[in-house]
Amino acid sequence: MSAVRPPAVKRQARRQNIESAVLAVAQERFALQGYGGVSIDDIAAEAGISKQSLLYYFPSKKALYRRVFNDVLDSWLSNLDSLAAADLEPHAALERYVTQKLQFSYDHPSGSRLFAQEIISQAPQCGDDIEAKLVPAFRAEAAVLHRWMSTGHAAPLPVAHLLFTLWAMTQTYADFAWQMRMLLGKKALEPADFDLARETIMRMLEGALGLTRPATSAVVTSRPEPLPK
């Protein structure tokens, strides 16, 4: 005989289900159409609830957007933390960092595009949140790279611009996925494309930072692929 859940537990489960559905729809809509191109009515209709019900959980469009954006930002920053928290030598730490950044682009393409849209628009809705969370994470990452370079474990490069380049190389697989699919002649990017991206980025880092690839590296050297016909 199955146990009967108390009413409070049922209400909490229902709330979580509704919030999850609304947040998923809102993330996709905001990523595709931007903040100004989406209405509460649109999101409620696609989530299968009334506008009044949506506003019960999220009191305004801005509140909903900020919740969606901060969920994305927190997830994105968790990957940044991996470099500063890693007790690994530079090659292994960077390989894990690049892998996690590419995995985020693969798993959360709409989240990455939403983040990019907010930044490109000069962060009109969430600038304070971005500054409060991103600046400390960026400084921690930069400190790790600077330590490697100052102790001779990596060749010197402008640390800030190295991080900017790493972000660009990994996030482009979400933000510009449509362009990549078109040029590769594919309906969707595949896991193999992300493996090749990781290999390419790591080979560039090895050359730029003077790193030696260990035998235990997951990156496998491959021959260049032919261009699509």
Where in the sequence is the domain holding 150, given as residue range(s)?
A: 66-209
Tokens encoding 93: 């730490």
Measure the CA–CA gap between 30 and 26, rounded to whole angstroms: 6
Domain co-membership, 91 together with 190:
yes
CATH number of the domain enclosing 174: 1.10.357.10
Q: Are residues 189 and 106 located together in one domain of the fold?
A: yes
- Classified as helix, coil or strand, 229 is coil
For residues 74 and 103, membership in a common domain is answered with yes
Is 39 contained in some domain? Answer: yes
What does pLDDT average to over the chain? 90
In this prediction, residue 227 carries a pLDDT of: 41
Q: How far is it, in rounded angstroms, from Cα 98 to Cα 80?
A: 10
Instruction: Evaluate the CA torsion angle 104, 106, 107, 111 in order and state its sign.
Output: positive
- Torsions phi, psi for 60 (to 5 deg): -160, 165
Q: Tell me: do 121 and 188 sit in the same domain.
A: yes
Q: What is the pLDDT of residues 138-195, one digit of tens each?
A: 999 999 999 999 999 999 999 999 999 999 999 999 999 999 999 999 999 999 999 9
Per the model's pLDDT, the better-predicted residue between 52 and 225 turns out to be 52
Phi-psi category of 151—alpha, beta or left, where left has phi over 0 and alpha has psi -120 to 50? Answer: alpha
For the cut 50, the answer to whether the pLDDT of residue 229 exceeds it is no
Tell me which of 43, 59, 75 is where a domain ends. Answer: 59
End-to-end CA distance of the chain: 61
Domain identity same for 34 and 113: no
